[in-house]
Structure 1
Amino acid sequence: MRDWLSTLTKEDRRTVGSDVKTVEFGWPIGMPICRNLGDGLWEVRSDLSDGTIGRVIFAIIGGDMVLLEGFHKTSDKTPKRNLDNAKKRLKELVK
């Protein structure tokens, strides 16, 4: 997650942070900013300055919003690799 954020411009980091904050303090919140991915995972949707789409996959654990995976979305479907990474991290956290 941190590695992905470091690749973004300052403006885009601010956008992602603002969108995450909107979801965190407005929870529960739905489309268009937040979508349920199933298995306890959700995604925050952010439109970035270069026209690309950023996504942050998160889970709610004990009332806390835990950010698990961040990536640029390039297709309609969430990439399996990113979803698998998020599921693996979630599993490690709830052992």
Structure 2
Amino acid sequence: MDRWKIIYYETAQGQSPIFDFIQNLDIRIRNKIADVLDLLAEYGIQIGSHHAKKLAGTPLWELRILGESSIRLFYVAIVGKQFLLLHGIIKKTQKTPTKEIKTALARLKEYQSRIMS
């Protein structure tokens, strides 16, 4: 089975806020993230609802890394069996903050405008 490729969002200046977010987390949490990203790469869109959830009304998916810190990584599927990781948060409330969803959507829009030009 072909694996999906995981791509980290980068700004036009080559910075990757999602990569930086992950790198600044505790090593144990980074290891959990690596495990879940490996599952995402292996199973793709069929990863299952325990790990991924579609955010209603948006093109975004939320990858859930459970543990003492509830980490959420927002991503989309793009052409060629690829996932684009856009934004990450430590979730502190039951509901995903609208501000965080807007950040992920703004990054997606910026990415799309860059690749279309």
Would you say same fold, with TM above 0.5?
A: yes
| Mapped partners of 1:18, 1:32: distance in 2 | 14
Identity of aligned pairs, percent? 26
Give every structure 1 segment of 4 or more consecutive aligned residues whose post-TM-superposition deviation is greater than 3 Å. none
Counterpart of 2:15 in structure 1 is none
The yes-or-no answer on 1:77 pairing with 2:95 is yes
| Mapped partners of 1:6, 1:18: distance in 2 | 15
The yes-or-no answer on 1:87 pairing with 2:114 is no
Q: 1:32 aligns with which of 50, 54, 63?
A: 50
**Displacement of 1:25 after TM fit?**
1.6
**Displacement of 1:24 after TM fit?**
2.3
**Displacement of 1:21 after TM fit?**
1.8
- The alignment's TM-score, normalised by the length of structure 1, stands at 0.88
The one of the two structures with greater contact order (alpha-carbon pairs below 8 A, sep at least 6) is: 2
- The alignment's TM-score, normalised by the length of structure 2, stands at 0.73
**Displacement of 1:6 after TM fit?**
2.5
Q: How much is the aligned-residue C-alpha RMSD, in angstroms?
A: 1.3
**Displacement of 1:70 after TM fit?**
0.7
How many residue pairs get aligned? The number is 93
Matches for 1:35-50 after TM superposition, within 5 Å: 35-38=53-56, 39-48=58-67
Structure with max Cα Rg: 2
Higher strand share: 1
Secondary structure at the counterpart of residue 27 of structure 1: helix
Secondary structure at the counterpart of residue 87 of structure 2: strand
Counterpart of 1:23 in structure 2 is 40
Q: In structure 1, list runs of 5 or more residues that go unmatched.
A: none
